[in-house]
């Protein structure tokens, strides 16, 4: 394939055009959790006051008996007043539509930006710089960060080599490996870069590798970074390359992931969760929320620009692509590209299979790192236009913690305080609608996914587990407790039995 000459890092702008060094003003750091807790508590209190002001009738004098055989069932046909129902619907629609409009306005403003000082990756800026120039065919260089991944790495490499559009280079970035990872990578015929004195986990190892790889990349090459426990579905790379060819301003393509088979009930919980996330991305037409670390592709221009912008317009150490202070490096890199005006997408035809956590302890550790990292990321960037969507998500999760906890607590109080169970048809109808929504959103997952969704309460308790993770993340961040980066150790593959002579 024809390749363009390697492109150097962006040259510094003239002194009068350089953005000021990245300031800490506006950053929330440790208090980000307290800010979110305060806001969602205030919102819940206002809602409670609004409902209480209507003075709902709490009596059950209008309950009716329904005798079925020897069973006597009481039910109450009362429902909230119509103005309360309409107000709730209006507020929900207003919140959803308002967030969508704000997000679209922010995206439109970034697309139209011609400010290379603050948004050097904005589509107009990028396209004006490469208009009329042919930079050669798109090539793909894959970096696979690996720390003791002998069990899963061979399957990952095999999935890359079986792609209809095979990558031109596959590089395993071996970080402090003490198993057979390096040997297996070389036996598979791929390149290996071993980290040197790295103490910054995955992000540090990738930074070292990228400083070697990026200078070799041309304008029309792309760098893919994928986990060592991920397998690409066929067509992933071919479809991603088409996206880059069709849109010269596109800076990144992320994959949509779904869970591997197995791991019993806890595995099905995670598969249902990932199916719903993919459905949400489809409804958003691929507009990315997070460029998944499982598999994402980047133009070298985006990675070079991030490295050049660290410490100036975005947080981090100057010259580093990845912020080694971030617990969730993929989430932070997504915010960095958005803050620089970059365009990205997660198309439905780029899917991968990723590992699932096999136990509640490992799932707790994984989600705590994700949650704490997400809070730290928005705390580091502060309240800006590109981070508004992330703030809204954290506020929504916080409000959901209060709402679901109150709902389950109310059920428990009702059960222990009443001698006779009373059905409320209105709320029962809402519950059935909610259950139907849960089933539809996992329909593609098969009968096991649908059955779990139909039972409703197991998934609600799984949601409560995630809510506890959220609360723990807020508490740890607020008290400045040291965060940990955990690694799931995979079982080594069973050695092949050598044939023996009789």
> How is the chain split into domains, by residue range?
39-48+81-112+383-484, 118-358
Residue 367: name the closest of 435, 269, 276 by CA.
269
pLDDT value for 17: 44
Tell me how far CA of residue 261 lies from CA of 305, 394, 409, 445, in angstroms: 39, 30, 34, 11
| Separation CA 190–CA 188 (nearest Å) | 6
pLDDT at 403: 86
pTM of the model: 0.83
**What integer pLDDT is reported at residue 58 of this predicted model?**
54
For tokens 């991603």, what's the residue? 240
> How many other C-beta atoms can be found within 10 angstroms of the C-beta atom of residue 265?
10
Contact 251, 300 (CB under 8 A): no
Which residues, other chains included, contact 73 with Cβ-Cβ below 8 Å and sequence gap of 6+?
A: 65, 66, 67, 421, 423
Q: Taken in order 324, 212, 143, 150, is the CA torsion positive or negative?
A: negative
Q: Which long-range contacts (CB under 8 A, 24 or more apart) does 18-24 make?
A: 18/117, 18/312, 19/117, 19/118, 19/312, 19/313, 20/312, 21/311, 21/312, 22/310, 22/311, 22/312, 22/313, 22/314, 22/315
Alpha carbons 474 and 370: distance in angstroms, whole number: 12
Check residue 115 and give left, alpha or beta (phi > 0: left; psi -120 to 50: alpha). Answer: beta
Residue 295 is given by DSSP the state E
Phi, psi of 296 (to 5 degrees): -145, 150
Pick from 287, 264, 327, 300: which is nearest to 458 by CA?
Answer: 264
pLDDT for the residue numbered 85: 74
The CATH fold assigned to 118-358 is Spore Coat Polysaccharide Biosynthesis Protein SpsA; Chain A (3.90.550)
**pLDDT of 243:** 92
Q: Show the tokens assigned to 100.
A: 């969508």
* Three-class SS state of 263: coil
Amino acid 46: pLDDT: 77
Beta bridge partners of 143: 171, 225
pLDDT of residue 14: 40
Distance CA 63, CA 57 (A): 12
**Burial of 392 (C-beta count, 10 Å sphere; 0-12/13-18/19+):** middle
Alpha-carbon distance of 394 to 398, in angstroms, equals 6
Residues in the chain with pLDDT values less than 50: 1-18, 25, 494-502
| 399-458 pLDDT tens trace | 888 888 888 888 888 777 777 667 777 778 888 998 999 999 999 999 999 999 999 889
Question: Can you give the pLDDT at residue 59?
Answer: 55
CA neighbor of 344 nearest in space, from 333, 356, 352: 333
């Amino acid at each position: 394939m024809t390749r363009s000459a390697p492109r150097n890092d962006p040259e510094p702008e003239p002194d009068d055009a350089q953005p000021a060094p990245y300031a800490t003003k506006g950053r929330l750091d440790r208090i980000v959790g307290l800010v979110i807790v305060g806001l969602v508590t205030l919102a819940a209190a206002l809602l409670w006051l609004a409902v209480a002001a209507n003075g709902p009738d709490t009596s059950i004098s209008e309950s009716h008996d329904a005798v079925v055989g020897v069973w006597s069932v009481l039910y109450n046909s009362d429902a909230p007043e119509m103005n309360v129902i309409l107000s709730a619907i209006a507020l929900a629609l207003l919140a959803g539509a308002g967030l969508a409009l704000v997000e679209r306005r922010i995206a439109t403003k970034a697309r139209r930006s011609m400010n290379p000082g603050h948004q050097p990756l904005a589509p107009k800026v990028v396209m004006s710089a490469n208009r009329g120039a042919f930079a050669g065919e798109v090539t793909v260089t894959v970096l696979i960060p690996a720390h003791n991944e002998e069990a899963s790495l061979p399957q990952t490499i095999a999935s890359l080599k079986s792609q209809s559009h095979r990558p031109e280079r596959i590089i395993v970035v071996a970080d402090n490996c003490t198993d057979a990872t390096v040997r297996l990578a070389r036996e598979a015929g791929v390149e290996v870069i071993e980290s040197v004195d790295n103490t910054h986990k995955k992000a540090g190892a990738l930074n070292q590798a990228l400083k070697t790889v990026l200078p070799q990349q041309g304008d029309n090459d792309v760098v893919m970074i994928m986990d060592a426990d991920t397998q690409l579905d066929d067509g992933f790379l071919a479809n991603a390359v088409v996206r880059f060819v069709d849109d010269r301003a596109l800076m990144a393509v992320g994959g949509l992931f779904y869970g591997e088979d197995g791991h019993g009930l806890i595995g099905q919980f995670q598969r249902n969760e990932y199916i719903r996330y993919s459905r949400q991305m489809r409804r958003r037409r691929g507009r990315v929320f997070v460029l998944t670390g499982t598999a994402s592709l980047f133009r070298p221009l985006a990675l070079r620009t991030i490295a050049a912008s660290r410490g100036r317009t975005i947080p981090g150490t100057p010259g580093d692509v990845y912020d080694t202070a971030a617990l969730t490096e993929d989430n932070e890199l997504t915010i960095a590209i958005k803050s620089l005006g970059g365009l990205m997408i997660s198309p439905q035809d780029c899917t991968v299979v990723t590992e699932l956590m096999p136990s509640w302890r490992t799932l707790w550790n994984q989600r705590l790192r994700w949650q704490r990292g997400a809070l730290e990321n928005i705390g580091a960037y502060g309240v800006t236009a590109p981070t508004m969507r992330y703030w809204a998500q954290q506020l929504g999760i916080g409000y959901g913690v209060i709402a679901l906890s109150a709902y389950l607590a109310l059920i428990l109080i009702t059960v222990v305080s009443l001698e006779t169970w009373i059905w409320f048809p209105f709320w029962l109808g809402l519950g059935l609608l909610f259950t139907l929504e849960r089933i539809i959103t996992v329909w593609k997952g098969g009968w096991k996914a649908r059955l779990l969704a139909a039972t409703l309460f197991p998934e609600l308790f799984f949601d409560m587990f995630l809510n506890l993770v959220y609360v723990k993340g807020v508490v740890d961040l607020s008290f400045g407790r040291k965060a940990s980066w955990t690694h799931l150790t995979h079982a080594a593959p069973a050695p092949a039995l050598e044939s023996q002579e009789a």
